[in-house]
Amino acid sequence: MNTIINDIETKYKKLGENPETYFKGLLQAKSLNYWDYVEVETLLSLQKPRTNFKDEEVFIMYHQITELFLKLILHEVKQIQTKPVTTEPFLLNKFTRIIRYTEMLISSFDIMRDGMEYNDYNTFRTALAPASGFQSAQFRYIEIYCTPLINLINEDEKKRIPNNPSIEELFEHLYWKDAGHNRKTGSKTLTLIEFEEKYLESFIQLANKVEGKTIANQINDLNNPSAELIDMLKKFDYLYNVAWPLVHLNTAKHYLESKNESQQATGGSEWKKYLHPQFQQRKFFPELWSEEDKLNWAK
C-alpha cells in the first residue's frame, strides 16, 4: 500500500501539484457505478421520433449504433495516421480491430432490412426529409484520414479536374458530391447544401492537415510489407468500399423498390446510382489492386 501511495505522490509532484489535495479529494469522491459511467439514462433518452410509428425508434437507434461503430473505426484510424513511425505489428493490430467493426456494420444491416414494417417505414420516412445517412460526417472523416482525395474521385470526374488542383478544387469533384449536385445545372439539393454548410470547412481543414500523410501514404512508404498486411488492407478496402455500400443499396431497394414501387430517397439523390460502388469507385489503397481488379471493381 505504501508503494502505491508513494507512486501517487510522485505522480502529482511531477505535475507540480500538491498530492495532499488529491488525497483529500478521494475522501469526498462518490463511488462509481455502471449507469453513471456509461451514461445509460442519457443514452436511452436520445431517441426522439418525429412520428407515432413505433419502428421509427428502431430506425433512429440503428443509425445511432452505426455512428458509434464509425467512431470506433475513426478512433483506430486516427491512431494510425498520427503515429510517428508505423510498424507492421501495430498496423496488423489496428486493422484487425477496424475490420471487426466494419464487418459488424455490414451484418447489422439486417436490422434495417428485417427490423421494420415495410408500410410503416415508407410512411414515417417521408417526415424525415431532407435528412439522409449521406450526411454522416464521420464516414467522410474516415475517408480523408485513410487516403488522398484523388482516390475519392471517380473516373468521369477525374477528367474534369484542373492541373495542379488545390484541396478545395478536389473537393468539388469528390464522388459523394454527386448525391446532391447536378453537374449540368449546378443546382444542389437541400441535403447537400446543409451538409456542406455544417461540415465542409472541417473536411477541408482535415484534408490539408493530413495531405501526404494519410494512411495510404504511410503504407506506400513501408519497405516490403508482408502478404498478411497487404491482404488485411485489401480486405478492409473491399469491406468498407464495396461490401458495405452494396448491403446499403440492397436494403434501400428492399424498401424503395419492393411491391412494384419505385420511390425517392429522403435526401433526393439518384440513390441507385450514387450508392453503387461501381459509380463511387473509391479505393483507399489503389496501389495494392491489379488493373484487372480496378476494372472489375464491385462487379
3-state secondary structure of 45: coil
Q: How many residues does the chain have?
A: 299
Phi, psi (rounded to 5 degrees) for 188? -125, 150
Q: What is the pLDDT along the chain (299 residues), one digit of tens a residue?
A: 689 889 999 999 999 999 999 999 999 999 999 999 999 999 999 999 999 999 999 999 999 999 999 999 999 999 999 998 889 999 999 999 999 999 999 999 888 888 899 889 989 999 998 998 889 999 999 999 999 999 999 999 999 999 999 999 999 999 999 888 887 888 999 999 999 999 999 999 999 999 999 999 999 999 899 999 999 999 999 999 999 999 988 887 777 666 655 555 554 556 676 788 888 999 999 999 999 998 888 87
Q: Which long-range contacts (CB under 8 A, 24 or more apart) does 184-193 make?
A: 189/130, 189/267, 189/268, 189/269, 190/130, 190/268, 191/130, 191/131, 191/132, 191/134, 191/135, 191/266, 191/267, 191/268, 191/269, 192/134
Q: Which residues have C-beta within 8 Å of that of residue 258, sequence separation ≥ 6?
A: 118
Question: What does pTM read for this prediction?
Answer: 0.91
CA 60 – CA 220 distance, rounded (Å): 39
Residue ranges covered by each domain of the chain? 53-128+136-295
Q: Which residues have C-beta within 8 Å of that of residue 297, sequence separation ≥ 6?
A: 242, 277, 278, 281, 283
CA 48 – CA 43 distance, rounded (Å): 12
Phi, psi (rounded to 5 degrees) for 284? -75, -35
Whether 268 contacts 190, CB under 8 Å? yes
Range 53-128+136-295: architecture per CATH: Up-down Bundle (1.20)
